[in-house]
Each structure stands twice: as structure tokens, then as C-alpha cells.
């Protein structure tokens, strides 16, 4: 099956964060593709990617970036697909710069912004599953199964001193 989720990031250095997104997408059986696409270094490629994603069968785009993180917002400006933004934890400002750059979109072009770093990367995949679940029953079942297992794991391990 062709990719339903496009995972893009501003730099190879973002992979250590976005790999958690892809790991969760794979766990849920969601076909995905991964590309480095920079808003600043390869703006033409970004516009081309965003412009063509829907016609290639992509239904959700997850965009991760750090610092002056324009990637998710610029991507959202060029597609009607839902864009989920993952703020990468930057070294200088711990990702607060990334978060504010991504979350503070002016009215009219939304980016669904996740938490900084690994948690946001994982939740982006889970949110993508929720969105896709409306059209793909198999993916909704996979998401429900993950959530049930997560709940069972907490209930089965009530003592924090045990491994």
C-alpha cells in the first residue's frame, strides 16, 4: 500500500526525534514515507512536496523542525491536508523556540501542534491514527488495541519499585 502519512523534517539532525514517530506509525501498521525537506534550505522542494502530497495518496503530514521552525506552517500553507507539527528540542532554547514557532499560527492556516521532543513525536503518530481511523477501520482497530494494551500495562504494574 502506498504511504498514507508523510513524515518530513527540516534536517537529518531531527531524525533522532522523528524516528519515534515512524516507530509508532510502523507499530500501528500505518504506511508512511520519510523525507528531509527544509523550509529554509530547500524551500522549492517543500512547496513541491506539500503541493503534490494529496495527489500521491498522502492523507496526513507530520512535520518536525527545530529552532525557527517554519516547516509545518509553510507546509500547511501549501496543502489542505492536516499538518501535525512536532517541535524538535533545540540545543540553545530547549525547544521552546520550536514550539512557539510552530504553535503560534495566525488564524486561517492551522497546524496541530504536539509537545516538544519524543512525547510529541509519538503523539503525532497516534493523532495521525485517530484522523486516519475515520476512513480506515483497520487503523482505528490498531489504535484501540494500542490504547487497551497501554491501559493494561499500567494496571498490571501498580508498584513503581518493580521493574
Residue 33 beta carbon to ligand RP5: minimum distance, rounded to whole angstroms: 18
Among 50, 60, 88, 114, binds ligand RP5 (CB under 6 A): 88
Footprint on residues 26-55 left by ligand RP5 (CB under 6 A): 38, 40
Task: Report the alpha-carbon distance of residue 36 to residue 156 in Å, rounded.
Answer: 40
| Residue 65 near ligand RP5 by CB under 6 A | yes
Please state the separation of Cα 128 from the chain's center in Å.
7
Please state the separation of Cα 115 from the chain's center in Å.
10
Cell of 25: 506509525
Residue list, annotated binding site = 11, 14, 41
Strands (DSSP E) found in 21-131: 32-36, 60-65, 83-87, 112-113
Residue 138 beta carbon to ligand RP5: minimum distance, rounded to whole angstroms: 32
| Residue 67 near ligand RP5 by CB under 6 A | yes
| Residue 13 near ligand RP5 by CB under 6 A | yes
Residue list, annotated binding site for substrate = 11, 14, 41
Number of chain residues interacting with ligand RP5 (CB under 6 A): 11
Task: Report the alpha-carbon distance of residue 111 to residue 68 in Å, rounded.
Answer: 15
Strands (DSSP E) found in the chain: 5-9, 32-36, 60-65, 83-87, 112-113
Residue 96 beta carbon to ligand RP5: minimum distance, rounded to whole angstroms: 13
Residues in the site for ligand RP5, rule: CB under 6 A?
Answer: 9-11, 13-14, 38, 40, 65-67, 88
Amino acid at each position: 500500500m502506498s504511504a498514507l502519512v508523510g513524515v518530513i523534517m527540516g534536517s537529518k539532525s531531527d531524525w533522532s526525534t522523528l524516528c519515534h514517530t515512524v516507530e509508532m506509525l510502523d507499530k500501528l501498521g500505518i504506511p508512511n514515507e520519510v523525507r528531509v525537506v527544509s523550509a529554509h534550505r530547500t524551500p522549492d522542494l517543500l512547496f513541491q512536496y506539500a503541493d503534490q502530497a494529496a495527489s500521491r495518496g498522502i492523507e496526513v503530514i507530520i512535520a518536525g523542525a527545530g529552532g525557527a521552525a517554519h516547516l509545518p506552517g509553510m507546509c500547511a500553507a501549501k496543502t489542505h491536508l492536516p499538518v501535525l507539527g512536532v517541535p524538535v528540542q533545540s540545543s540553545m532554547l530547549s525547544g521552546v523556540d520550536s514550539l512557539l514557532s510552530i504553535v503560534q499560527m495566525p488564524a486561517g492556516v492551522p497546524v496541530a501542534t504536539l509537545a516538544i521532543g519524543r512525547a510529541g513525536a509519538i503523539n503525532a503518530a497516534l493523532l495521525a491514527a485517530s484522523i486516519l481511523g475515520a476512513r480506515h477501520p483497520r487503523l482505528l482497530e490498531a489504535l484501540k488495541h494500542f490504547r487497551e494494551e497501554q491501559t493494561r500495562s499500567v494496571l498490571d504494574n501498580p508498584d513503581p519499585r518493580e521493574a
